[in-house]
Structure 1
Amino acid sequence: MLLVLSPAKSLDYESPLPAVTPSEPLFVDDAAELIGVLRTLAPQQVAELMDLSDTLAALNVARYQAWQREFTPDNSRPAIYAFNGDVYEGLDVRSLAPADVQWLQAHVAILSGLYGVLRPLDRMQPYRLEMGTRLLTSRGRNLYQFWGARLARYLDSRAAQDDGVIVNLASEEYFKAVDRRALTARVVQCVFEERRGAGYKVISFAAKRARGLMTRWAALQRVQRVPDLQGFDLEGYRFAPGVSDADRLVFRRDAAAGAAA
Protein backbone atom coordinates (compact mmCIF):
# COMPACT_ATOMS: atom_id res chain seq x y z
CA MET A 1 0.00 0.00 0.00
CA LEU A 2 0.98 3.61 -0.51
CA LEU A 3 0.50 6.14 2.31
CA VAL A 4 -0.07 9.72 1.16
CA LEU A 5 0.83 12.70 3.36
CA SER A 6 0.58 16.48 3.15
CA PRO A 7 3.73 18.61 3.48
CA ALA A 8 4.30 21.10 6.31
CA LYS A 9 4.62 24.87 6.27
CA SER A 10 7.40 24.81 8.88
CA LEU A 11 10.81 23.72 7.59
CA ASP A 12 14.03 22.61 9.27
CA TYR A 13 17.23 23.11 7.34
CA GLU A 14 19.43 23.48 10.43
CA SER A 15 19.31 20.20 12.39
CA PRO A 16 22.06 17.68 11.67
CA LEU A 17 21.17 15.04 9.11
CA PRO A 18 21.71 11.30 9.59
CA ALA A 19 23.70 9.39 7.02
CA VAL A 20 21.13 8.75 4.30
CA THR A 21 21.33 8.49 0.53
CA PRO A 22 18.94 11.07 -0.97
CA SER A 23 16.90 10.55 -4.12
CA GLU A 24 16.13 13.11 -6.79
CA PRO A 25 12.67 14.73 -7.09
CA LEU A 26 10.61 13.50 -10.03
CA PHE A 27 8.82 16.63 -11.26
CA VAL A 28 11.72 19.07 -11.51
CA ASP A 29 10.61 20.52 -14.86
CA ASP A 30 7.18 21.31 -13.42
CA ALA A 31 8.70 22.83 -10.28
CA ALA A 32 11.02 24.98 -12.42
CA GLU A 33 8.01 26.22 -14.39
CA LEU A 34 6.25 27.24 -11.19
CA ILE A 35 9.38 28.92 -9.87
CA GLY A 36 9.54 30.91 -13.10
CA VAL A 37 6.05 32.24 -12.42
CA LEU A 38 6.75 32.92 -8.75
CA ARG A 39 9.88 34.90 -9.60
CA THR A 40 7.75 37.46 -11.44
CA LEU A 41 5.86 38.35 -8.24
CA ALA A 42 6.79 41.17 -5.89
CA PRO A 43 6.86 40.51 -2.13
CA GLN A 44 3.51 42.27 -1.66
CA GLN A 45 1.93 40.08 -4.34
CA VAL A 46 3.26 36.94 -2.64
CA ALA A 47 1.94 38.19 0.69
CA GLU A 48 -1.53 38.69 -0.76
CA LEU A 49 -1.48 35.45 -2.76
CA MET A 50 -0.72 33.25 0.26
CA ASP A 51 -1.90 35.49 3.11
CA LEU A 52 1.62 35.89 4.51
CA SER A 53 3.22 38.53 6.66
CA ASP A 54 5.64 40.90 4.95
CA THR A 55 8.54 39.07 6.62
CA LEU A 56 7.44 35.63 5.38
CA ALA A 57 6.69 36.99 1.92
CA ALA A 58 10.20 38.46 1.66
CA LEU A 59 11.72 35.18 2.88
CA ASN A 60 9.92 33.19 0.22
CA VAL A 61 10.68 35.65 -2.56
CA ALA A 62 14.34 35.11 -1.65
CA ARG A 63 13.79 31.34 -1.73
CA TYR A 64 12.27 31.52 -5.21
CA GLN A 65 15.21 33.56 -6.46
CA ALA A 66 17.73 31.14 -4.93
CA TRP A 67 16.05 27.98 -6.26
CA GLN A 68 18.14 25.97 -8.72
CA ARG A 69 17.42 23.06 -11.05
CA GLU A 70 20.43 21.25 -9.62
CA PHE A 71 19.84 19.82 -6.15
CA THR A 72 22.95 19.61 -3.97
CA PRO A 73 23.75 18.90 -0.30
CA ASP A 74 24.25 22.64 0.15
CA ASN A 75 20.90 23.84 -1.22
CA SER A 76 18.60 20.96 -0.31
CA ARG A 77 17.88 18.10 2.07
CA PRO A 78 15.63 15.01 2.01
CA ALA A 79 11.99 16.07 2.34
CA ILE A 80 11.25 13.84 5.33
CA TYR A 81 13.98 15.66 7.30
CA ALA A 82 13.00 19.13 6.05
CA PHE A 83 9.28 19.22 6.92
CA ASN A 84 8.69 20.14 10.55
CA GLY A 85 4.94 20.45 11.31
CA ASP A 86 2.50 18.42 13.42
CA VAL A 87 2.45 15.45 11.03
CA TYR A 88 6.24 15.18 11.05
CA GLU A 89 6.49 15.57 14.82
CA GLY A 90 4.18 12.56 15.08
CA LEU A 91 6.29 10.66 12.55
CA ASP A 92 9.55 11.55 14.38
CA VAL A 93 11.72 10.20 11.58
CA ARG A 94 14.99 10.90 13.40
CA SER A 95 14.19 8.21 15.96
CA LEU A 96 13.58 5.55 13.28
CA ALA A 97 16.13 2.97 12.21
CA PRO A 98 17.59 3.12 8.68
CA ALA A 99 15.49 0.11 7.64
CA ASP A 100 12.34 1.93 8.78
CA VAL A 101 13.28 4.98 6.72
CA GLN A 102 13.77 2.77 3.69
CA TRP A 103 10.29 1.34 4.26
CA LEU A 104 8.95 4.89 4.24
CA GLN A 105 10.79 5.59 1.00
CA ALA A 106 9.06 2.62 -0.62
CA HIS A 107 5.58 3.18 0.84
CA VAL A 108 5.05 6.94 1.37
CA ALA A 109 4.35 9.83 -1.02
CA ILE A 110 4.20 13.48 0.10
CA LEU A 111 2.03 15.82 -1.97
CA SER A 112 3.51 19.26 -2.63
CA GLY A 113 2.32 22.44 -4.29
CA LEU A 114 5.74 23.09 -5.82
CA TYR A 115 7.14 19.59 -6.32
CA GLY A 116 3.92 17.72 -7.07
CA VAL A 117 4.87 14.54 -5.21
CA LEU A 118 7.96 13.84 -3.14
CA ARG A 119 9.29 10.55 -1.89
CA PRO A 120 10.59 10.86 1.69
CA LEU A 121 14.25 10.95 0.66
CA ASP A 122 13.80 13.19 -2.38
CA ARG A 123 15.97 16.30 -2.21
CA MET A 124 13.95 19.44 -1.57
CA GLN A 125 14.95 23.08 -1.65
CA PRO A 126 13.05 25.31 0.82
CA TYR A 127 9.82 26.87 -0.42
CA ARG A 128 6.32 27.96 0.53
CA LEU A 129 3.55 27.20 -1.96
CA GLU A 130 0.38 25.69 -0.57
CA MET A 131 -1.67 23.49 -2.89
CA GLY A 132 -4.75 25.70 -2.58
CA THR A 133 -2.89 28.75 -3.91
CA ARG A 134 -4.64 30.51 -6.81
CA LEU A 135 -1.48 30.94 -8.85
CA LEU A 136 -2.12 31.81 -12.49
CA THR A 137 0.03 29.72 -14.86
CA SER A 138 -0.11 28.64 -18.50
CA ARG A 139 -2.04 25.56 -17.33
CA GLY A 140 -4.84 27.31 -15.46
CA ARG A 141 -5.96 29.55 -12.61
CA ASN A 142 -4.66 27.49 -9.69
CA LEU A 143 -2.35 24.63 -8.73
CA TYR A 144 -5.08 22.03 -9.05
CA GLN A 145 -5.35 22.89 -12.73
CA PHE A 146 -1.58 23.13 -13.05
CA TRP A 147 -1.02 19.58 -11.81
CA GLY A 148 -4.09 18.15 -13.56
CA ALA A 149 -4.02 14.35 -13.72
CA ARG A 150 -0.24 14.04 -13.24
CA LEU A 151 -0.42 13.30 -9.55
CA ALA A 152 -3.17 10.71 -9.94
CA ARG A 153 -1.21 8.89 -12.63
CA TYR A 154 1.92 8.87 -10.47
CA LEU A 155 0.14 7.61 -7.35
CA ASP A 156 -1.59 4.94 -9.44
CA SER A 157 1.76 3.73 -10.72
CA ARG A 158 3.19 3.57 -7.21
CA ALA A 159 0.15 1.78 -5.76
CA ALA A 160 0.13 -0.72 -8.64
CA GLN A 161 3.60 -1.88 -7.60
CA ASP A 162 2.05 -3.27 -4.42
CA ASP A 163 -1.61 -4.07 -3.65
CA GLY A 164 -3.25 -1.19 -5.53
CA VAL A 165 -4.31 0.64 -2.35
CA ILE A 166 -3.72 4.29 -1.46
CA VAL A 167 -4.10 5.18 2.22
CA ASN A 168 -5.05 8.86 2.34
CA LEU A 169 -3.41 10.57 5.32
CA ALA A 170 -3.31 13.94 3.59
CA SER A 171 -5.49 16.99 4.22
CA GLU A 172 -8.48 17.75 2.04
CA GLU A 173 -6.64 20.70 0.48
CA TYR A 174 -3.85 18.45 -0.75
CA PHE A 175 -5.69 15.26 -1.68
CA LYS A 176 -8.05 17.39 -3.76
CA ALA A 177 -5.09 17.79 -6.13
CA VAL A 178 -5.34 14.08 -6.96
CA ASP A 179 -7.81 13.82 -9.84
CA ARG A 180 -10.11 11.03 -8.64
CA ARG A 181 -11.49 10.59 -12.17
CA ALA A 182 -8.02 9.61 -13.36
CA LEU A 183 -7.30 7.43 -10.33
CA THR A 184 -7.91 3.69 -10.55
CA ALA A 185 -6.38 2.67 -7.20
CA ARG A 186 -8.60 1.98 -4.20
CA VAL A 187 -8.47 4.88 -1.72
CA VAL A 188 -8.80 4.24 2.02
CA GLN A 189 -9.33 7.28 4.24
CA CYS A 190 -8.15 7.36 7.87
CA VAL A 191 -10.05 9.67 10.25
CA PHE A 192 -8.87 10.58 13.75
CA GLU A 193 -11.36 11.88 16.32
CA GLU A 194 -11.34 12.92 20.00
CA ARG A 195 -14.15 12.81 22.50
CA ARG A 196 -15.47 16.30 23.13
CA GLY A 197 -18.46 16.48 25.43
CA ALA A 198 -21.00 13.83 24.50
CA GLY A 199 -19.57 13.13 21.07
CA TYR A 200 -16.45 12.87 18.95
CA LYS A 201 -14.95 15.37 16.53
CA VAL A 202 -11.83 15.93 14.46
CA ILE A 203 -9.42 18.30 16.23
CA SER A 204 -7.15 19.70 13.52
CA PHE A 205 -3.73 19.72 15.20
CA ALA A 206 -4.38 16.37 16.91
CA ALA A 207 -5.50 14.79 13.63
CA LYS A 208 -2.36 16.06 11.87
CA ARG A 209 -0.15 14.54 14.55
CA ALA A 210 -2.14 11.29 14.34
CA ARG A 211 -1.45 11.05 10.60
CA GLY A 212 2.26 11.12 11.38
CA LEU A 213 1.81 8.61 14.18
CA MET A 214 -0.07 6.28 11.84
CA THR A 215 2.74 6.54 9.27
CA ARG A 216 5.34 5.80 11.95
CA TRP A 217 3.35 2.85 13.27
CA ALA A 218 2.87 1.44 9.77
CA ALA A 219 6.62 1.59 9.17
CA LEU A 220 7.45 -0.10 12.48
CA GLN A 221 4.83 -2.80 11.90
CA ARG A 222 5.66 -3.22 8.20
CA VAL A 223 1.95 -3.03 7.44
CA GLN A 224 0.95 -4.86 4.26
CA ARG A 225 -2.87 -4.94 4.18
CA VAL A 226 -5.68 -2.50 4.97
CA PRO A 227 -7.07 -4.64 7.86
CA ASP A 228 -3.65 -4.43 9.53
CA LEU A 229 -4.19 -0.68 9.99
CA GLN A 230 -6.97 -1.40 12.47
CA GLY A 231 -4.31 -2.31 15.04
CA PHE A 232 -3.06 1.30 15.27
CA ASP A 233 -3.03 2.23 18.97
CA LEU A 234 -0.49 5.01 19.57
CA GLU A 235 -1.27 7.83 22.03
CA GLY A 236 -4.63 6.43 23.07
CA TYR A 237 -6.23 5.89 19.65
CA ARG A 238 -8.34 2.81 19.00
CA PHE A 239 -10.10 1.61 15.88
CA ALA A 240 -13.87 2.34 16.01
CA PRO A 241 -15.52 -0.38 13.89
CA GLY A 242 -19.07 0.83 14.56
CA VAL A 243 -18.51 4.09 12.66
CA SER A 244 -16.05 2.77 10.06
CA ASP A 245 -16.47 1.05 6.74
CA ALA A 246 -14.15 -0.72 4.33
CA ASP A 247 -12.74 2.49 2.84
CA ARG A 248 -13.10 4.84 5.82
CA LEU A 249 -11.28 3.80 8.97
CA VAL A 250 -12.15 5.86 12.06
CA PHE A 251 -9.88 5.96 15.12
CA ARG A 252 -11.02 7.55 18.36
CA ARG A 253 -9.58 8.50 21.72
CA ASP A 254 -10.62 10.34 24.87
CA ALA A 255 -9.39 13.90 25.19
CA ALA A 256 -7.56 12.90 28.38
CA ALA A 257 -5.46 10.43 26.40
CA GLY A 258 -4.46 13.22 24.06
CA ALA A 259 -3.48 15.48 26.95
CA ALA A 260 -1.38 12.70 28.48
CA ALA A 261 0.44 12.15 25.20
Structure 2
Amino acid sequence: MQILISCAKIMTGKAPKEIPYITKPSFQLQANDNAMQMVAYSVDELQDMLHVNHEIAAENWHRFQTFHTKENREPAVFCYDGMVFQKLAPETFSDDELRYANDHLLISSFLYGLLRPLDIVNKYRLEGNIVLPENDGKSMFDFWKPILTDWFIRKIKADDGILVNLASDEMRNLFDWKRVKKEVTIVTPEFKIERNGKLKTIVIYTKMCRGAMTRYILKERITNIQLLKLFEYDGFKIDESEGDWMFTLK
Protein backbone atom coordinates (compact mmCIF):
# COMPACT_ATOMS: atom_id res chain seq x y z
CA MET A 1 0.00 0.00 0.00
CA GLN A 2 1.30 3.41 -0.99
CA ILE A 3 0.13 6.69 0.55
CA LEU A 4 0.19 10.12 -1.10
CA ILE A 5 0.08 13.32 0.94
CA SER A 6 0.60 16.96 0.00
CA CYS A 7 3.59 19.09 0.83
CA ALA A 8 3.07 22.05 3.15
CA LYS A 9 3.91 25.67 2.34
CA ILE A 10 5.70 26.25 5.64
CA MET A 11 9.09 24.59 5.98
CA THR A 12 10.75 25.46 9.26
CA GLY A 13 10.96 21.99 10.80
CA LYS A 14 14.09 20.05 11.67
CA ALA A 15 14.87 16.42 12.44
CA PRO A 16 14.91 15.94 16.24
CA LYS A 17 17.96 13.68 16.04
CA GLU A 18 20.48 12.37 13.57
CA ILE A 19 18.68 10.03 11.18
CA PRO A 20 20.87 7.00 10.41
CA TYR A 21 19.12 6.17 7.14
CA ILE A 22 18.59 8.85 4.50
CA THR A 23 17.85 8.78 0.76
CA LYS A 24 18.29 11.00 -2.27
CA PRO A 25 15.25 12.51 -4.04
CA SER A 26 14.32 10.57 -7.17
CA PHE A 27 14.04 13.81 -9.16
CA GLN A 28 16.98 15.75 -7.72
CA LEU A 29 18.24 16.81 -11.17
CA GLN A 30 14.89 18.38 -12.06
CA ALA A 31 14.76 20.05 -8.66
CA ASN A 32 18.23 21.49 -9.22
CA ASP A 33 17.16 22.91 -12.59
CA ASN A 34 14.00 24.42 -11.11
CA ALA A 35 15.92 25.95 -8.21
CA MET A 36 18.53 27.45 -10.55
CA GLN A 37 15.75 29.16 -12.47
CA MET A 38 14.32 30.56 -9.23
CA VAL A 39 17.74 32.06 -8.39
CA ALA A 40 17.24 34.63 -11.16
CA TYR A 41 14.30 36.32 -9.44
CA SER A 42 14.61 39.24 -7.04
CA VAL A 43 12.92 39.37 -3.65
CA ASP A 44 10.22 41.66 -5.05
CA GLU A 45 9.59 39.31 -7.97
CA LEU A 46 9.32 36.33 -5.62
CA GLN A 47 6.90 38.27 -3.45
CA ASP A 48 4.63 38.73 -6.44
CA MET A 49 5.06 35.21 -7.84
CA LEU A 50 4.49 33.41 -4.55
CA HIS A 51 1.82 35.80 -3.21
CA VAL A 52 3.66 36.22 0.08
CA ASN A 53 4.85 39.13 2.20
CA HIS A 54 8.32 40.64 1.86
CA GLU A 55 9.78 38.71 4.80
CA ILE A 56 8.77 35.31 3.38
CA ALA A 57 9.95 36.34 -0.09
CA ALA A 58 13.35 37.34 1.31
CA GLU A 59 13.65 34.08 3.23
CA ASN A 60 12.96 32.05 0.10
CA TRP A 61 15.25 34.21 -2.04
CA HIS A 62 18.03 33.25 0.38
CA ARG A 63 16.98 29.58 0.26
CA PHE A 64 17.28 29.47 -3.51
CA GLN A 65 20.57 31.38 -3.51
CA THR A 66 22.06 28.75 -1.18
CA PHE A 67 20.16 25.78 -2.62
CA HIS A 68 23.27 23.71 -3.32
CA THR A 69 24.58 24.06 0.22
CA LYS A 70 24.42 20.55 1.62
CA GLU A 71 24.61 21.72 5.24
CA ASN A 72 21.08 23.11 4.97
CA ARG A 73 19.46 19.83 3.96
CA GLU A 74 17.05 17.83 6.13
CA PRO A 75 14.91 14.70 5.66
CA ALA A 76 11.74 15.90 3.93
CA VAL A 77 9.20 14.58 6.41
CA PHE A 78 10.73 16.68 9.19
CA CYS A 79 10.92 19.91 7.14
CA TYR A 80 7.21 20.52 6.54
CA ASP A 81 5.19 22.17 9.31
CA GLY A 82 1.60 21.86 8.06
CA MET A 83 -1.19 20.25 10.06
CA VAL A 84 -0.91 16.96 8.15
CA PHE A 85 2.70 16.64 9.30
CA GLN A 86 1.90 17.72 12.84
CA LYS A 87 -0.62 14.89 13.14
CA LEU A 88 1.70 12.45 11.37
CA ALA A 89 4.27 13.35 14.07
CA PRO A 90 7.30 11.67 12.43
CA GLU A 91 9.48 12.65 15.38
CA THR A 92 7.75 9.90 17.39
CA PHE A 93 8.64 7.18 14.83
CA SER A 94 11.39 4.69 15.61
CA ASP A 95 14.22 4.27 13.10
CA ASP A 96 12.57 1.07 11.86
CA GLU A 97 9.23 2.83 11.45
CA LEU A 98 10.90 5.62 9.49
CA ARG A 99 12.43 3.06 7.15
CA TYR A 100 9.01 1.50 6.63
CA ALA A 101 7.48 4.94 6.01
CA ASN A 102 10.19 5.65 3.44
CA ASP A 103 8.98 2.67 1.40
CA HIS A 104 5.27 3.43 1.64
CA LEU A 105 4.75 7.21 1.84
CA LEU A 106 5.10 9.78 -0.95
CA ILE A 107 4.97 13.55 -0.50
CA SER A 108 4.05 15.75 -3.46
CA SER A 109 6.33 18.71 -4.13
CA PHE A 110 6.23 21.42 -6.78
CA LEU A 111 10.04 21.68 -6.66
CA TYR A 112 11.01 18.01 -6.20
CA GLY A 113 8.05 16.26 -7.85
CA LEU A 114 7.65 13.38 -5.40
CA LEU A 115 9.56 12.82 -2.19
CA ARG A 116 10.02 9.94 0.20
CA PRO A 117 10.05 10.89 3.90
CA LEU A 118 13.80 10.44 4.31
CA ASP A 119 14.84 12.12 1.06
CA ILE A 120 17.26 14.92 1.93
CA VAL A 121 15.96 18.27 0.71
CA ASN A 122 16.61 21.98 0.89
CA LYS A 123 13.79 24.13 2.19
CA TYR A 124 11.94 26.13 -0.43
CA ARG A 125 8.62 27.62 -1.45
CA LEU A 126 7.00 27.10 -4.84
CA GLU A 127 3.47 27.03 -6.26
CA GLY A 128 1.90 24.76 -8.85
CA ASN A 129 0.82 27.58 -11.16
CA ILE A 130 4.28 29.11 -11.51
CA VAL A 131 5.77 29.06 -15.02
CA LEU A 132 9.56 29.00 -15.14
CA PRO A 133 11.32 30.39 -18.24
CA GLU A 134 13.08 27.15 -19.30
CA ASN A 135 10.02 24.91 -18.86
CA ASP A 136 8.46 25.61 -22.28
CA GLY A 137 5.68 27.80 -20.92
CA LYS A 138 4.38 25.03 -18.66
CA SER A 139 3.14 25.45 -15.12
CA MET A 140 4.78 23.26 -12.50
CA PHE A 141 1.73 20.98 -12.73
CA ASP A 142 2.22 20.46 -16.46
CA PHE A 143 6.00 20.27 -16.13
CA TRP A 144 5.78 17.34 -13.72
CA LYS A 145 2.89 15.41 -15.29
CA PRO A 146 4.87 13.54 -18.01
CA ILE A 147 7.80 13.02 -15.65
CA LEU A 148 5.89 11.63 -12.67
CA THR A 149 3.00 9.61 -14.10
CA ASP A 150 4.81 6.46 -15.22
CA TRP A 151 7.12 6.48 -12.20
CA PHE A 152 4.15 6.88 -9.84
CA ILE A 153 2.21 4.01 -11.42
CA ARG A 154 5.25 1.72 -11.34
CA LYS A 155 5.87 2.56 -7.68
CA ILE A 156 2.29 1.66 -6.70
CA LYS A 157 2.26 -1.54 -8.79
CA ALA A 158 5.59 -2.63 -7.31
CA ASP A 159 3.86 -2.65 -3.93
CA ASP A 160 0.32 -4.11 -4.00
CA GLY A 161 -1.31 -1.84 -6.57
CA ILE A 162 -3.22 0.19 -3.96
CA LEU A 163 -2.90 3.95 -3.43
CA VAL A 164 -4.43 5.69 -0.44
CA ASN A 165 -4.81 9.24 -1.70
CA LEU A 166 -4.66 11.64 1.25
CA ALA A 167 -3.38 14.59 -0.77
CA SER A 168 -5.33 17.74 -1.60
CA ASP A 169 -7.33 17.66 -4.84
CA GLU A 170 -4.96 19.98 -6.71
CA MET A 171 -2.14 17.45 -6.43
CA ARG A 172 -3.90 15.20 -8.95
CA ASN A 173 -2.77 17.73 -11.55
CA LEU A 174 0.82 16.59 -11.08
CA PHE A 175 -0.14 13.33 -12.82
CA ASP A 176 -2.20 12.03 -15.70
CA TRP A 177 -4.79 11.07 -13.12
CA LYS A 178 -7.05 9.28 -15.60
CA ARG A 179 -4.20 6.90 -16.36
CA VAL A 180 -3.41 6.41 -12.69
CA LYS A 181 -7.07 5.56 -11.99
CA LYS A 182 -7.11 3.01 -14.81
CA GLU A 183 -3.96 1.21 -13.74
CA VAL A 184 -4.10 1.09 -9.93
CA THR A 185 -6.71 0.94 -7.17
CA ILE A 186 -7.20 4.35 -5.57
CA VAL A 187 -8.89 4.93 -2.22
CA THR A 188 -9.60 8.58 -1.42
CA PRO A 189 -10.98 8.93 2.12
CA GLU A 190 -13.17 11.95 2.87
CA PHE A 191 -13.68 13.56 6.24
CA LYS A 192 -16.80 15.60 6.95
CA ILE A 193 -18.58 17.16 9.91
CA GLU A 194 -22.33 17.33 10.35
CA ARG A 195 -23.54 20.91 10.75
CA ASN A 196 -27.24 21.75 10.81
CA GLY A 197 -28.13 18.38 9.41
CA LYS A 198 -25.68 18.59 6.49
CA LEU A 199 -22.22 17.16 6.02
CA LYS A 200 -19.57 19.79 5.41
CA THR A 201 -15.86 19.74 4.70
CA ILE A 202 -13.86 21.78 7.22
CA VAL A 203 -10.35 22.11 5.82
CA ILE A 204 -8.47 22.09 9.12
CA TYR A 205 -10.22 18.91 10.27
CA THR A 206 -9.60 17.26 6.91
CA LYS A 207 -5.87 18.01 7.23
CA MET A 208 -5.80 16.69 10.80
CA CYS A 209 -7.51 13.45 9.76
CA ARG A 210 -5.25 12.99 6.75
CA GLY A 211 -2.20 13.23 8.96
CA ALA A 212 -3.68 10.95 11.60
CA MET A 213 -4.73 8.34 9.01
CA THR A 214 -1.26 8.39 7.44
CA ARG A 215 0.20 7.79 10.88
CA TYR A 216 -2.28 4.96 11.52
CA ILE A 217 -1.42 3.17 8.26
CA LEU A 218 2.31 3.45 8.81
CA LYS A 219 2.40 2.69 12.52
CA GLU A 220 0.09 -0.30 12.17
CA ARG A 221 1.65 -1.33 8.83
CA ILE A 222 -1.78 -1.71 7.27
CA THR A 223 -1.81 -3.86 4.12
CA ASN A 224 -5.48 -4.90 4.08
CA ILE A 225 -7.49 -2.04 2.62
CA GLN A 226 -10.56 -3.00 4.65
CA LEU A 227 -8.65 -2.32 7.88
CA LEU A 228 -8.69 1.37 6.95
CA LYS A 229 -12.33 1.32 7.97
CA LEU A 230 -11.27 0.75 11.58
CA PHE A 231 -9.60 4.16 11.63
CA GLU A 232 -11.02 6.61 14.15
CA TYR A 233 -9.73 10.01 15.13
CA ASP A 234 -11.16 12.56 17.54
CA GLY A 235 -14.74 11.41 16.90
CA PHE A 236 -14.36 10.78 13.17
CA LYS A 237 -15.22 7.24 12.10
CA ILE A 238 -16.34 5.38 9.00
CA ASP A 239 -19.91 6.08 7.89
CA GLU A 240 -20.61 3.83 4.93
CA SER A 241 -24.17 5.11 4.72
CA GLU A 242 -22.63 8.29 3.32
CA GLY A 243 -20.09 6.63 0.99
CA ASP A 244 -17.55 3.83 0.81
CA TRP A 245 -14.72 5.87 2.26
CA MET A 246 -16.56 8.62 4.12
CA PHE A 247 -15.48 9.35 7.69
CA THR A 248 -17.83 11.64 9.57
CA LEU A 249 -18.14 13.45 12.87
CA LYS A 250 -21.79 13.69 13.89
How would you bin the TM-score normalised by the shorter chain? over 0.9
Corresponding residue SS for 2:103: helix
For residues 177 and 15 of structure 1, what CA distance do their matches in structure 2 show? 27
Q: Where does residue 118 of structure 1 map in the other structure?
A: 115
- Determine helix, strand or coil for the equivalent of 1:148: helix
Structure 2 CA distance for partners of 1:134 and 1:251, relative to 1, 3 Å: farther
CA distance in 2, matches of 1:87, 1:137: 32
Equivalent positions of 1:230-245 (< 5 A) are 230-245=229-244
Distance 1:17 1:150 in 2: 33
1:257 match: none
Change (3 A) 1:193 1:50: same
2:103 and 2:38 map into 1 onto residues whose CA distance is: 31
Post-superposition Cα deviations, 1:196-250, rounded to whole Å, max 9, x if no partner, equal 22111111111111111000011122110221111111221111111223xxx11
| Contact 1:112/1:130, CA 8 A, preserved across alignment | no
How is 1:186-205 mapped onto 2 (pairs within 5 angstroms)? 186-205=185-204
Task: Please list, as runs of the form range in 1=range in 2, the aligned pairs for 1:38-57 lying within 5 A after superposition.
Answer: 38-57=38-57
Aligned residues: 248
- Correspondent of 1:163 among 156, 160, 165: 160
8 A contact 1:44–1:57 mirrored in 2? yes
Once superposed, what is the RMSD of the aligned Cα atoms?
1.7
Q: Percent identity?
A: 27
Please point out which of 146, 151, 160 is paired with 2:148.
Answer: 151
Instruction: Point out the more displaced range, 208-217 or 233-242.
Output: 233-242
- How far apart, CA to CA, are the structure 1 residues paired with 2:134 and 2:185? 31
2:2 maps to what in 1?
2
- Partner SS state of residue 241, structure 1: coil
Partners of 1:225 and 1:139 in 2: CA distance? 43
Residue 251 of structure 1 is aligned with which of 231, 247, 250? 247
3-state secondary structure, aligned to 2:177: coil
Structure 2: 5+ residue runs without aligned partners?
none
**Residue 172 of structure 1: aligned partner:** 169
Aligned 8 A contact 1:26 1:117 in 2 = yes
Which amino acid is the alignment partner of residue 250 of structure 1? M
Deviation, structure 1 residue 181: 3.8
Give the match's secondary structure for 2:114: strand
Contact between 2:13 and 2:81, CA under 8 Å: does it hold in 1?
Answer: no
Alignment deviations for residues 53-90 of structure 1 (CA, whole Å, 9 cap, x no partner):
1111111111111001x7x4x22010111111100011
CA displacement at 1:102 relative to structure 2: 1.9
**Per the alignment, do residues 225 and 131 of structure 1 end up closer, same or farther by CA in structure 2, a change over 3 Å counting?**
farther
Distance in 2 (alpha carbons) for counterparts of 1:240 and 1:17: 39
Q: Any idea what the Cα deviations from partners look like across 1:33-70, whole Å, max 9, x if unmatched?
A: 111221121212111111111111111111111001x7
